[in-house]
Chain A
Amino acid sequence: MKKILSKFSLAGLTGLLMIGFSHIAMSEEMVAVMEEVATINSGDTAWMIMATILVLLMAIPGLALFYGGLVRSKNMLSVLMQVFVTFSMMSVIWVLWGYSLAFSEGPYNDYVGGLSLAFLSGITGDSISGTIPEFVFVTFQLTFFALTPALIVGAFAERIKFSSLLVFLAAWGTLVYAPICHMVWGGGIISQMGAVDFAGGTVVHINAGIAALVGAIVLGKRIGYGKESMAPHNLPFTMIGASLLWAGWFGFNVGSELAADGTAGLVMINTQVAAAAGVLGWIVMEWISKGKPSMLGGASGAITGLVAITPACAVVGPLGAIILGIVASIIAYWAVTSLKISLGYDDSLDVFGIHGVAGIVGALGLSVLMSSQLGGTGYGDGMSMMSQFVVQAKSIGITVVWCGVVSYILFKIIDVTMGLRVSEEDERTGLDSTSHGETAYRS
């Protein structure tokens, strides 16, 4: 009864206020202030803060353990360090100039942003982006900027010089990630074409995959590759890492909606079933072709499915997500077990084979699966399956060429000036003790 009374009085008060307000001509300033206040949504904001922390969990410890378990025990700490420090360094660069180059408007706005938001100048606690505080948006995007270079680390694990790695990734983030991010999400040419990349198929995974491939080729193979055993030293770590990546990926994909709404729900179910389908696809391939399904295969399949659904997660239906997960893991399995061996490059932890290949499968596959007849959300105005496919292919092409060329130049410059690889003796001894002066395991 008390409640009902209070509700009545509240309604009455609101009504009175409304009548009162309608008689007062509101100044434009007042309208603007009211709109700004209305745009922050606490539900969205709370979710985006959580999503940001989930992406952080993907990188450290998720990615670090996923990679760490795959190397030999003498290089365990070096991989953990490479991921951990890359993630930290990129976080700082994002604040200094990364965010500005990716998300501000600049003189070459089709390709890259300007420097007007360098040092996050002008952004305050009151700044709003969509329905969330801009600082939350900045931090969410920061985790993408910090995670993507950490993915590349896997391609030349066990042989790269730590200082050269950091220089390369700082330059790569500035000259490759920021422009591609601007082209896709910051209003540049890829978004103008109508390409769909919901959570980072081109920006994150194809980008990292291509840089990884170029890096693996420029650096050359590990000493003893193909002759000595380079079997993973701790697959349980890899399983834990893959599981953390899987869980964190909900922050990555669902968070990319930037709101807690219906689309977020679609993205959520799609992310889950694409990962699951990826696991099944990969282990069935192993079972058929090699006789035994493996834990490493299961973990690889999960990541493959997650990568493939990343660009597509808001435009396909759950059945489409399952198809995408299975198809991606079949193709990535082939890339990792056959293509890599026939081309003869040593992508230590299969960054290209998984992120590059599954990223491309996802970016192209969504043009078919987003059809409303196949359970997707349908095409944009004036777009069809064919035209979407062409646009997706173009967006991949731009990413591959930009990232490939710039990465190659950067690697070559660093190779000539600083050297990319550690000495043969250091590589034999292991990077833990020779680069970092510590060892992961004591007996």
Chain B
Amino acid sequence: MKFVTAIIKPFKLDEVREALSEIGVQGITVTEVKGFGRQKGHTELYRGAEYVIDFLPKVKLEVAVSTKLLKKVIEAIEKSAVTGKIGDGKIFVMDLEEVKRIRTGETGEDAL
């Protein structure tokens, strides 16, 4: 099993969710986050006072998937989240040791 974390542009969230549903992903977790990468921040001006906004708002989504679905998941996120402009985000993949569904006690891929 794999654990996929993706940082995406906030307005792309709906498209990414739809793309993941289409390939059979049954649940995702979404968090509003702030951060910076190559896009860096931007400046805002208030009556001449200039403030550098270092951290830009992004959405972080987390998906636990079976290893055989991983390729499709990465592809789906990549295709639906891309704009081609700086700041599109990143996808991180980690091994996932164990999963347990709290309600039924199922474990492993059955619990996904």
A interface, CB within 8 angstroms of B: 229-232, 286, 290, 292, 294, 296-297, 300, 336-338, 340-341, 350, 353
CB B22 to nearest CB in A, in angstroms, measures: 34
Are B47's CB and A337's CB within 8 A?
A: yes
Give the residues in chain B near A230, CB-CB below 8 Å: 49, 51
How many chain B residues touch A (CB < 8 A): the figure is: 8
Are A229's CB and B48's CB within 8 A?
A: no
Are B48's CB and A232's CB within 8 A?
A: no
B92 on interface, CB distance cutoff 8 Å:
no
CB B57 to nearest CB in A, in angstroms, measures: 15
Are A296's CB and B48's CB within 8 A?
A: no
Interface of A is mostly: helix
Give the residues in chain A near B44, CB-CB below 8 Å: 231
Given contacts A230-B49, A336-B48, 14 further A-B contacts (CB under 8 A): A229-B51, A229-B53, A230-B51, A231-B46, A231-B49, A231-B51, A290-B45, A294-B45, A297-B47, A300-B47, A336-B47, A338-B48, A340-B48, A350-B47
By beta carbon, the residue of chain A nearest B53 is A229
Are B46's CB and A337's CB within 8 A?
A: no
Give the residues in chain B near A290, CB-CB below 8 Å: 45
By beta carbon, the residue of chain A nearest B48 is A337
Are B46's CB and A232's CB within 8 A?
A: yes
Give the residues in chain A near B51, CB-CB below 8 Å: 229-231
By beta carbon, the residue of chain B nearest A70 is B46
Give the residues in chain B near A350, CB-CB below 8 Å: 47
Give the residues in chain A near B46, CB-CB below 8 Å: 231-232, 294, 296
Q: Mark B49-72, 1 if CB is under 8 A from A, else 0.
A: 101010000000000000000000
Give the residues in chain B near A296, CB-CB below 8 Å: 46-47
Give the residues in chain B near A294, CB-CB below 8 Å: 45-46
Instruction: Give the CA-CA distance A230 to B47 in the complex, in Å.
Output: 12
Instruction: Give the CA-CA distance A294 to B48 in the complex, in Å.
Output: 11
By beta carbon, the residue of chain A nearest B52 is A229
Instruction: Give the CA-CA distance A290 to B50 in the complex, in Å.
Output: 11
Instruction: Give the CA-CA distance A337 to B48 in the complex, in Å.
Output: 4
CB B76 to nearest CB in A, in angstroms, measures: 32
Give the residues in chain A near B47, CB-CB below 8 Å: 296-297, 300, 336-337, 350, 353
Instruction: Give the CA-CA distance A297 to B48 in the complex, in Å.
Output: 10
Q: Mark B27-54, 1 if CB is under 8 A from A, else 0.
A: 0000000000000000011111101010
CB A442 to nearest CB in B, in angstroms, measures: 18
